[in-house]
A = this chain, B = another copy of it.
Amino acid sequence: MSRILRLNMTDRTFGWQDVPVAWGRLGGRALTSRIIREEVPPTCHPLSRANKLVLAPGLLTGTPAANAGRISVGGKSPLTGGIKESNSGGLVSSKLARLGVKAVVVEGKPDDGRWSLVQITRDGVEFHPAEEYAGLGNYQTMARLWERFGKGVGVVSIGQAGEKRLTGASIHFADPAGRPGRAAGRGGLGALMGSKKLKALVVDDRGTPAVPLADPERFKQAARRWAKCLKEHPVSGQALPAYGTAVLINIVNEAGALPTQNFRRGRFEFAEDISGERMAELIKQRGGKTKEGCHPGCVIQCSQTYLDKDGKYLTSGFEYETIWALGANTLIRNLDEIAVIDRLCDDYGLDTIEMGCTLGVLMEGGIIPWGDGAAAIEMVKKVATDDPWGRIIGNGSVFTGRALGVDRVPAVKGQGLPAYDPRAEKGVGLTYATSPMGADHTAGYGVAVNILGCAGGGDPLKKEGNVELSRNLQVATAAIDSTGLCLFVAFAVLDNPDALPCILEMINARYGLSLTGEDITALGSQVLKDERSFNREAGFTKAHDRLPEFFKEYLKPHNVTWDFTDEEVDRVLEGF
């Protein structure tokens, strides 16, 4: 039976809790958001003792289901002040599931301010002093922890940004090569982990049996069909394995929705230089790897190993969002410079989307020149030093805007906007405005329908149908985020009528249930209700479901504006 593991950082003790009946069918985001909703005072300071950090594998994690190895991380966000779920790949999720840990709840904080690391194995839970790792980046931390605890153990860690409790800080998860390219990036949860003085979690599932399945044969059949669904879809079966998510650079640029120079226009004239095609070409030339999974059981393999021009490892998990944020948004067109910043962000533990928006604001304020990759690299390096600029930019785009008196800041609820201009992809724009997470493309990815043409397609430039699209996707995504499945399964789910039945079949075979599609929708709805009610009590209103005023400007090349009325925006999550 799975249990809840509670880590009390105040006195460095732990306890096991049986899963309350009401939480029994929850996993991933559904569980993190429920625990935060029930246990964290919505008006508390996000860095205070009262906040909690929750990590939860999904309902299918640990099973042989393809792409089910995601982990949800939740808390009151130090960046937005609202509830947050950010999810990641990496090794840890399936190991926790195999160890029978349904969630880890990190509580309290130590009066002596000393760092700990917590080791979770088949034999129990142990707190270790971690002062020796303080000040290290994620690369070194993970390398040292593999050395100490064994190659292949799961590691969750924060870098210097999380240690400093900077609200742009992310939490990193070792990938199968022991690198920190995987992150719960958004919402500053690294600062929350830092406030608990928890430098790292080490999760070692050696010696544990496989996750129990109520009906192994039924599961096996469904899992086989499921993997086929993923491999047969052109996005998850071909485009992502070939070029990674960066395949989107040319596509979104073509659609006129690639935010360029701090959301001034929708096309970047040098998009080709930073495209997925260009990246794949460089990787091949230099002897890197174009295809890698972020967790065992991934059949999509959208990650990669990116080498520098001398053939030395530079970065991995080099995503479209990252390349856009640090590239088109800042006018930096040199992929190697962008890769260096990505590497620094992974090492210090910084959200690359937030950092890209932040660099755009720094350029807006005249602190560094547009397109100057070398200057951007020097600025980012300050995060790991005592330089106060590091404290400014490490706190994200809105914070940096305030430091500079810049009012052109692309953010909602304090979180920087991702890589699709809301004027030229109105579906995801509504998600930015209304998601309880703040501006987040993964919370309801209209792009899949409007730009990538899934589910019959839509018109990204027109308002029609997008209120419903954003709402339906937000509900569906909340459900998927609760299963432990990677969001990239959504392409198959949208286009292949066999995909959703496969997911249901796997869940039912895992737990001996007979859930229907309606139950899954109800789960997604319940997640949004938990999250929205937390946010309401934390002080969020409709006024926070708004894009910045400057999106009233017309966007080239399509000359489109953000033309939704407040009433239309408010209809997206009405009733939640």
Contacts and interface: CB of A to CB of B under 8 A. Distances in A.
A358 to B, nearest CB: 14
A167 B546 CA distance: 22
Nearest to A405: B165
Interface stretch (A44-52, A263-271, A314-322, A415-423): A44-52
Contact of A407 (B41, B47, B549): B47
A46 B389 CA distance: 23
Contacts of A406: 47
A50 B409 CA distance: 15
Interface string A530-552: 00000011111111101011000
Contact of A539 (B41, B167, B541): B541
A43 interface: yes
Nearest to A391: B403
A166 interface: yes
A405 B549 contact: no
A45 B541 contact: no
B395 A403 contact: yes
Contact of A392 (B195, B388, B549): B388
A31 to B, nearest CB: 25
B195 A407 contact: yes
A283 to B, nearest CB: 37
A12 interface: no
Nearest to A188: B402
Contacts of A165: 404-405
A164 interface: yes
A569 B229 CA distance: 56
Contact of A45 (B41, B43, B191, B407): B407
A38 interface: no
B392 A164 contact: no
B392 A403 contact: yes
A46 B41 CA distance: 29
A378 to B, nearest CB: 14
Contact of A43 (B48, B392, B546): B546
Contacts of A43: 543, 546
Contact of A387 (B195, B388, B405, B541): B388
A543 B539 contact: yes
Contacts of A45: 407, 409, 548-549
B541 A48 contact: no
Contact of A402 (B48, B399, B537, B538): B399
Nearest to A413: B539
A414 to B, nearest CB: 11
Most buried by B among A164, A405, A546: A405
B543 A537 contact: yes
Contacts of A403: 388, 391-392, 395, 399
Interface string A42-67: 11111110100000000000000000
A436 interface: no
A194 interface: yes
Contact of A549 (B44, B391, B538): B44
Contacts of A388: 387-389, 391-392, 403
B537 A167 contact: no
Contacts of A540: 539, 541
Interface of A: 41-48, 50, 164-167, 191, 194-195, 387-389, 391-392, 395, 399, 402-407, 409, 536-544, 546, 548-549
22 contacts: A41-B549, A43-B543, A45-B407, A45-B409, A45-B548, A47-B406, A48-B407, A48-B549, A164-B405, A194-B405, A195-B405, A195-B407, A387-B388, A391-B403, A391-B404, A395-B403, A399-B403, A536-B541, A539-B539, A539-B540, A539-B542, A541-B541
Given A166-B405, A388-B403, A539-B540, 19 more contacts: A41-B549, A42-B543, A43-B543, A43-B546, A46-B407, A47-B407, A50-B549, A165-B405, A194-B405, A195-B407, A388-B391, A391-B392, A391-B403, A392-B392, A399-B399, A536-B541, A537-B543, A539-B541, A539-B543
